[in-house]
Structure 1
């Protein structure tokens, strides 16, 4: 275990074992995860790194509940920059975290503990948040992948707000594939979250064009050398164009120099006047910032609109923009000497992402000359999440989840969407085409699930479970990638989409059922598939 203050509340071993004992056989079965302590886990206080917040959460955040339903097992609530206000990982009364690669260098924040938990091997993945870069900066400083979804793609119900209009729940993992698996589970609208939305995903182009900045980025020398190696790597992988990123960088300055500071006041300003546990730097940034009028706010909105318009030509000529995650990797001593100035420099390449409605994924670039990790990131307009993950997978030497260029994704259907079944017409109307008949790996089971019409619910047996001698028959269909999000929004709980294994060893996106939809008395696995069971009922 790590000897640094990774966790604010580490779950006892018996509690973790209890979660594991009841975890359903979903797409994330048995995977451990850590939760940034501004995200609710039922029965545990959500402190946001404020010790005076001691009331246990009445229910889990939507994202946490989706992970539990998918079989993942929580291990604890992680340390963070208080009220998610910081990119350094030192603004916490529970102690400052450091990079797992150096006790002298910051871990990055605000999701400091989440990054350390994954990098130190204390969790398979972690939930974080990213309003200004808080999911990407600590990922970069700890050699991880940080997935920052499009705004609203992942609901924030049950998350302590920092800037509600900009907040994003993010994923930290050691591989792009793991980050994608988790995103598949937690994405999707929530009617309780007014900021959530459904986004159709763009296809990965056959020949991606990636933009890189022209001119000097004012990086530290060791960062600069790693960045030069990064751009060389990009030219090996993709067609590269050089672009002016001035408008992006100016937009970044608006986050703490505009009305969004007032939105932080709206979120948690009530604690600033009478809570002695509030970090002094957090208090200075939020409570002692300039008072802004409505005129000031609209002036900032208009300036942002102008900057947004200035960035659009980049997207007409490129599919993604490659940037460093930060310009430097500061030491704990440097942050203590200038907490605001260092933090501002860390947000230079991340603060604008949500203001400009972009998605992003951070991942390891070439290691710096001093042995510390160097993080790069790809950005794209909202709805480019899956395409960015494909590009990041290529960079990291991983297999993209779907072939680049054809713009389609394979989908395993097991019941009402089978050819000739009631919902197949919807699949065809969205551009779906039949690929082949297949069988699932033998350790899946099928149950009848209630709903507007009869449906099968498929779950996977836990390790060691007794498999059926005859695997379940299913169909593989091909669906345009841009239609996937809209199709997923039509799927009613307890069903959802996740990665399923077929008996030929391939792994394909398909229908799975959460544990609350499983009734052992309605197990129909022995029939070998939905059509066979339907035939047996006359």
Structure 2
């Protein structure tokens, strides 16, 4: 093996690994060994709910290596993790609820697509229970922490996925995102989280957020997100929320237009929860976008922030309750207290309440359609700030809602979005910037996202951590 690729810290982005494989400097078998060594070195970090044993993964790698045609597969030898509400044949699915675990008889179509493309699954990963939360602490399997500071939350609900990609344990993680589950962990672990327009990818397995959820990937680069998403865009007639436009849909990392307009929150509606460093990082990314040819336009975000609150603080929570009521009713104690409390709220809403909420949301969708006649993108912080685990546990529901300030409305309004690294606060904690496009405007989100990530000029995940002087 080429000693230039470090077994403990070498980059795992797909382009790097494919180049190493092509040159013969690394083999999938050797890579898998290195991956398991890294996982062992981290110890019990609560990333994995079910870790596939090393020899099984190495056997998958050797099977690929024995097939000359496999080398042409787009994910040849690439290791990945899977959120535990997405099925992998022969490995339990729990959605982080121990009492609700079951053994799937087949992999979800998404996971099977990745395996057929040459990917090697490493295991099932921790999450907020049932995908309800964007903080990563609502789980029966221990609390993962931010890769940069063990005191801080990892973000959720795809908590294990965010940490595993940020820590260099896998090349990408299968996620799903209803309220920010694939964007918040990306922001807090210095990686990329692109969430397609709802309906462009079929929904997988236990992801039961209904019409507001979409599968996605946590990746080290926008290029990886584009490659993976292009493998999975498809129209699925059996999925009632699948869009016909998904057939043949593609995104790219082509250079963005020479000029574009983007909206940002005005001073009155920019919420960073008093975190001046968050505000600074957001301003710096706005300036980078302007350098790339963008023109910023300040807007009042109040309508969209109001829509965001409706996801959990209103009749839309009845959708989550409807998804899980058959297992939840009479078995409430299987869930951790915040998940149990939030899901129980769904019982109190009538059909009248739900229809009224839908009419209100339709009005917000119309408003944002009008916005996107004047601008190409809406740009916000991914999260206002972040919190220490102990802070979060002391005020779980309120701080979770705060973390979803900007992410919660995106799926409700039928929009694509991507969280792009924003850099680091002076204490070494990472945050993100979110690019939001009009419905089906995914390509521009990805193109501008790739250019913005390149302009920041820091390596993804742990590799980008700056060396800060210790406080005196």
TM-score grouping bracket, smaller chain normalisation: 0.7 to 0.9
Structure 2 residue 338 is the aligned partner of structure 1 residue 281: yes
Match of 2:218 in 1: 172
Q: Is 1:143 matched up with 2:196? A: no
Q: 1:218: which partner in 2?
A: 271
Q: CA deviation at 1:128?
A: 0.7
Does structure 1 conserve the Cα–Cα contact (< 8 Å) formed by 2:199 and 2:214? yes
Q: Which whole-Å CA distance do the structure 2 matches of 1:52 and 1:106 have between them?
A: 24
Contact kept? 2:166, 2:191, Cα under 8 Å = yes
CA contact (8 A) 1:150 1:382 kept: yes
SS at match of 2:217: strand
Pair 73,202 (structure 1): closer, same or farther in 2 beyond 3 Å: closer
In structure 1, which of residues 309, 334, 349 is the aligned counterpart of residue 406 of structure 2? Answer: 349
Partners of 2:356 and 2:332 in 1: CA distance:
33
**1:10 has 2:66 as partner:** no
- d(CA) in 2 for partners of 1:242 and 1:202? 27
1:321 alignment counterpart: 378
| Candidates 206, 209, 231, aligned match of 2:261 | 209
Q: How many residues align?
A: 398
* 1:197 to partner: Cα distance: 2.1
- After superposition, the Cα gap between the structure-2 partners of 1:241 and 1:160, relative to the gap in structure 1 and judged at 3 Å, is closer
Given the alignment of the two structures, is residue 231 of structure 1 paired with residue 286 of structure 2, yes or no?
yes
- Correspondent of 2:352 among 289, 295, 312: 295
Q: Deviations over 1:411-469 (max 9, x none)?
A: xxxxxxxxxxxxxxxxxxxxxxxxxxxxxxxxxxxxxxxxxxxxxxxxxxxxxxxxxxx
User: Unaligned 5+ residue runs, structure 2?
Assistant: 1-38, 65-69, 456-472
CA contact (8 A) 1:143 1:364 kept: yes
Q: Is the 8 A contact 1:49 1:92 kept in 2?
A: yes
Q: Aligned partners of 2:362 and 2:78: how far apart in 1?
A: 42
Which structure's residues are more often helix, by fraction? 2
Residues 318, 345 of structure 2: 8 Å contact kept:
no
In structure 2, how many angstroms separate the alpha carbons of the residues matched to 1:313 and 1:193?
29
Compared CA separation, residues 242 and 275, structure 1 to 2 (3 A): closer
TM-score of the two chains, using structure 2 as the length reference: 0.81
Show the 5 A alignment for 1:43-442. Answer: 43-161=90-208, 163-199=209-245, 200=249, 205-216=257-268, 217-219=270-272, 220-237=275-292, 238-272=294-328, 273-274=330-331, 276-289=333-346, 291-397=348-454
Residues 85, 110 of structure 1: 8 Å contact kept: yes
- Residue 290 (structure 1) shift: 5.6
- How many angstroms apart in 1 are the aligned matches of 2:204 and 2:186? 24
SS of the residue 2:364 aligns to: helix
Q: CA–CA distance in 2 between the matches of 1:274 and 1:229?
A: 48
C-alpha displacement at 1:166, in angstroms?
1.1
For the residues of structure 1 that align with 2:242 and 2:367, how far apart are their CA atoms? 26
What is the rounded CA distance, in whole Å, between the counterparts of 1:201 and 1:120 in structure 2?
29
> SS of the residue aligned with 2:348?
coil
Secondary structure (helix, strand or coil) at the match of 1:150 reads coil
For residues 302 and 314 of structure 1, the distance between their equivalents in structure 2, rounded to whole angstroms, comes to 19
- Greater share of strand: 1
SS of the residue aligned with 1:33?
Answer: strand
Q: Evaluate the alpha carbon distance shift between residue 311 and residue 54 of structure 1 in structure 2; reply closer, same or farther with a 3 A threshold.
A: closer
- The structure number with the bigger radius of gyration is 1
SS in 2 for 1:322: strand
RMSD after superposition: 1.8
Displacement of 1:54: 3.5
